[in-house]
Structure 1
Amino acid sequence: MLRWALLLGLSLHPQTLRAQNFICSDLELQHAAEVARDRSANFWSGHPLPGPWYQPCPIEWSGSQRSGQGVTRYRLAEGEVFGWQMTVLGDRNTVLRDVLPHEVDHAVRASLVRRALPRWLDEGCASVAESAPSHAQLRSQLRLSRRRILTSETIDAMSYPTSSTSTQQLYAEGFSLVEYLLLQRPRSDLLRVQQAERPLSQSLPAVYQVELPQLLADWTNWEQSRLRVGTTCDCVGCPWHHPLPQAGPVVSERPVLTVWSASWCGPCLAFQQDLQRHPGFRQTLEKRFRIVMRDIDQQPRESGQSGILSVPVFLADTRRIEGYQGPEWLLRELGLTMTPPTPVHAPPSS
C-alpha cells in the first residue's frame, strides 16, 4: 500500500520537467520557451543558435492577476554566458503572450552578443518579441510623454532610471527607437551594433552612417509623424494603424494572404473555425486573396526570416496584421466588406 500511495502521490504532484534548454514545472511554459528561443534566434541572426546551452535555464513561474513581469539573470565572464535563471510573474496568458518571449529574447541575445548592453537597447529589443497589444500599449505610453529620456548623453547608460515612471518610459522609448532602427537597416546590423566592443554612441553612428544627434532627431521626427498620421510599422506590425488599400491595376492572379499560426494558438484555431462556420467570411477572403497557411513550429527558419514573433499574423500585399478578433475585425483590417455567401441550391427532387 505504501508503494502505491507513493506512486499515486507522484502522479498528483507535478514534477520539474526538463527540456533541452529550459527546466520548468509547467510543460506548456517549457515548450513555449523552447519555441521562443528558436524564434528570437531566427529573428536576429537568421538561423537557430548553434546548439543547446551547456546548462538548461530554470524557469520559475508565479501566477497572479497583476500585469506580467519577468527577470532573467545570467553571468558573463571571458565571453561566456552561464548561470541562467529566469523568473516570470503574471497570469498564464500574459506570461505566454508577452513575459516569456521577452525574457527568452534577453537570453538569446546574451548568447549572440556576449556582453552587457545599455538598458534601453536590451529592453527595446526584447519588447519586439511581445504581442501586438503590448506593442500598442508601449506606443500609447510614448504618445503621452512630454520629454525624451534617450539623448546623446544617456544613450550609453547601463542602469535603469531611479523612478518607476521613468523606467516605463525607457521601455517605451527603447522599443520605439529599436523599431526605427529596424526600419533603416537589416536586423543583422542592429545585432552588429550590440556585438561591437565599443559604446553605442560610437557604434550606432558607424553602422547607421549618421551622426548620433541627427539619428536621434530623425527618430523623434519619425515617431511624431507616425503617431500623428497613423503609419504602420512594417518591421513588427502595428495593431492600431493600417494604411488604406492601395488602388492599382487589376491583375488576373489573386495576391497571397499568408497566415502564420500554430497548433497551440487559440486565436489561430478560432480563425480556422470561423472559415468553416461563416461561408461569407471565407468567400470574401478567397475572392480577394489566395490563402496560404504556415506553421511557425514546422517552419521556424522561414518564420524567423519573416519576423514572426507572435501568432496569428496575416501578411498580405504591404499589410501586416497581428492577432485575430473575429471575421468582421479581420476584414476591416484588410479593407474588405463581408459579402453574402453564395447560396447552395439543392438538386431537383426526382
Structure 2
Amino acid sequence: MLSRPLIAAVLALSTLFTMGAEWTTTNFTITVPGGSEQLAERIGQWAEYYRKVKAKEWLGREMPNWPYKCPLEVKVTYGNSGGATSFDSVRGTYLPVAMEVEGKMDRIIASVLPHEITHTVMAHYFGQPVPRWADEGGSVLSEDEQERQQHEGEVRRIVSSRSRVIPLRRLFDLKQYPRDTIVLYAEGYSVTNMLVSRSNRAAFLAFIADGMRRGWDDALQAHYRIRSVEALEAEWLETLKSSPRPGTSPGTLLAGADSRSTGTPTGREVVRRTLPPATPVVGTPRPVVRGVSGGEENRDEWAKPISAPASAPIMPAAGVIVGTPRPKAVVPGNTD
C-alpha cells in the first residue's frame, strides 16, 4: 500500500503536469498546458518580440506596456492552427485581457501569434472597434509568406467563382462575419495588401480612420485619389487579373492544416477565431471574446464607431524589419 506522503506527491506531480508550465514577461503571462517552462519562456520571448516589431511596422513606434499582463494560453497540437483574443474597454481604450493560440509550433510562431498581436496594435491605435475587413486584412498581412500566399490563392478562387464575392461596398460596411467567413479574410487581406503596397501602413491607417469618420468614398479620394469604393473594386479586380498568381495550387490548404487531409476553405471558420474588439458596453466594462458564434452573421448590432484618431500615425522609421522575423539571438532553439 502506498503511503500518504507518496500519494500526495504523486497527486501533486499529476496536477502540475495537467496545469502545465507558466512564464511571465513584461506584458504577458504565458501558460502551456502539459508543456515545459522552457517552451513557455520561448513563446513569451516571441510574443514580446512581435509586440515590438508589429507596433513599429504599423505605428512607427513601440506601444507602451499594458497596465496588466495579458494571459496567453498556448496549445501545441498537430491539427489546425488558430487564435482568439478578448478585449476589455477601460477608460476609453481597448486592452487585451486574454489570448489563446493553438496549432503546430512553427505555425503558432510564424502565423498565429503575429496575427493576434497585430489585433492588439490595431486596438491600441484606434482605441475602438476596427472595421472587420481592415482588422483581419492587416493581421493577415503580419503573417508569414506561406499564409499570405494561401490567401492570395484563395481570393482568386473566390473571384473566379463570382457567386462567393462580397462587393467591397458591402465588405467595408460589414459589422458581423458573413457565413462564408474565409471570404472576409481573403478579400480583406487582398485589398489591404494592395492599398499598403501603394503607400505604406501609416497611410492605410489614416485612410481607415478617415473612412470610419466621414465615409469610405471621401477617404479614398483624400488618401488614394480613387473616386469611390466601386472604382477601388474595379482597380482591385483588374490588379488580381494582371498580377502573377502565387505559387500555390488550387488545393493548397490553410496554415496549420494537415497536408494529408481534404480540408475545405470554410474550415478556417472553425480554427481562426479572431474578431475585432466589440463595442463597449455602458457601465462596468466586460471582456468581449473574439470569436464566431452560431448565427452571428445574421446579427448586426455592432455599432458604427463614433470617433477615430484625428491624425495619421508616425511613419515607420528606416530599418524597421518587414516580413517574417527570425530573432535567432532573442529566441533560442528551433521553431518546430
The residue that corresponds to 1:31 in the other structure is: 45
CA displacement, residues 27-75 of structure 1 (integer Å, 9 cap, x when unaligned) = 11111111111111111112212x2111121111222222211111102
The residue that corresponds to 1:125 in the other structure is: 138
CA distance change for structure 1 residues 56 and 193 in 2, over 3 Å: closer, same or farther? farther
1:19 to 2:25 alignment: yes
* Structure 2 residue corresponding to 1:209, chosen from 217, 222, 225: 225
State the distance in 1 between where 2:167 and 2:121 align: 25
DSSP-derived class of the 1:66 partner: coil
DSSP-derived class of the 1:53 partner: coil
DSSP-derived class of the 1:154 partner: helix
The residue that corresponds to 2:294 in the other structure is: none
Q: Where in structure 1 are there 5+ consecutive unaligned residues?
A: 231-237, 241-299, 313-350
The residue that corresponds to 1:172 in the other structure is: 186
Letter in 2 for 1:308: G
1:310 to 2:325 alignment: yes
1:80 to 2:93 alignment: yes
Letter in 1 for 2:235: D
CA distance change for structure 1 residues 201 and 55 in 2, over 3 Å: closer, same or farther? farther
Q: Where in structure 2 are there 5+ consecutive unaligned residues?
A: 32-39, 249-315, 328-336
1:179 Cα offset (Å):
0.9
State the distance in 2 between where 1:127 and 1:85 align: 20
Letter in 2 for 1:42: K
Letter in 2 for 1:207: H
Q: Pairwise CA RMSD of aligned residues?
A: 3.0
The residue that corresponds to 1:154 in the other structure is: 171
Q: Are the equivalent residues in 2 in contact too, given 1:19–1:30 (CA < 8 A)?
A: yes
Normalised to the residue count of structure 2, the TM-score between the two structures is: 0.63
State the distance in 2 between where 1:206 and 1:137 align: 32
The residue that corresponds to 1:182 in the other structure is: 196
* Structure 2 residue corresponding to 1:48, chosen from 56, 62, 73: 62
The residue that corresponds to 2:150 in the other structure is: 137
1:156 Cα offset (Å):
1.9
Q: Are the equivalent residues in 2 in contact too, given 1:114–1:195 (CA < 8 A)?
A: no
CA displacement, residues 234-261 of structure 1 (integer Å, 9 cap, x when unaligned) = xxxx777xxxxxxxxxxxxxxxxxxxxx
The residue that corresponds to 2:73 in the other structure is: 60
DSSP-derived class of the 2:237 partner: helix
Q: Are the equivalent residues in 2 in contact too, given 1:88–1:99 (CA < 8 A)?
A: yes
Q: 1:324-335, aligned counterparts within 5 Å?
A: none
Q: Are the equivalent residues in 1 in contact too, given 2:95–2:124 (CA < 8 A)?
A: no
State the distance in 1 between where 2:192 and 2:42 align: 30
The residue that corresponds to 1:221 in the other structure is: 238
DSSP-derived class of the 1:16 partner: strand
Normalised to the residue count of structure 1, the TM-score between the two structures is: 0.61
1:309 Cα offset (Å):
3.8
State the distance in 1 between where 2:221 and 2:16 align: 58
The residue that corresponds to 1:317 in the other structure is: none
Structure index of larger Rg: 1
CA distance change for structure 1 residues 22 and 301 in 2, over 3 Å: closer, same or farther? farther
Q: Are the equivalent residues in 1 in contact too, given 2:195–2:204 (CA < 8 A)?
A: yes
Q: Are the equivalent residues in 1 in contact too, given 2:144–2:323 (CA < 8 A)?
A: no
State the distance in 2 between where 1:75 and 1:54 align: 12
Q: Are the equivalent residues in 1 in contact too, given 2:171–2:184 (CA < 8 A)?
A: no
Q: Are the equivalent residues in 1 in contact too, given 2:137–2:190 (CA < 8 A)?
A: yes
The residue that corresponds to 1:109 in the other structure is: 122
1:191 Cα offset (Å):
1.4
DSSP-derived class of the 1:115 partner: coil
The residue that corresponds to 1:342 in the other structure is: none
State the distance in 1 between where 2:49 and 2:325 align: 11
Q: Are the equivalent residues in 2 in contact too, given 1:64–1:90 (CA < 8 A)?
A: yes
CA distance change for structure 1 residues 308 and 178 in 2, over 3 Å: closer, same or farther? same
1:11 Cα offset (Å):
9.0
CA distance change for structure 1 residues 18 and 204 in 2, over 3 Å: closer, same or farther? farther
CA distance change for structure 1 residues 176 and 66 in 2, over 3 Å: closer, same or farther? same
1:301 Cα offset (Å):
6.4
Q: Are the equivalent residues in 2 in contact too, given 1:23–1:56 (CA < 8 A)?
A: yes
Aligned length: 238
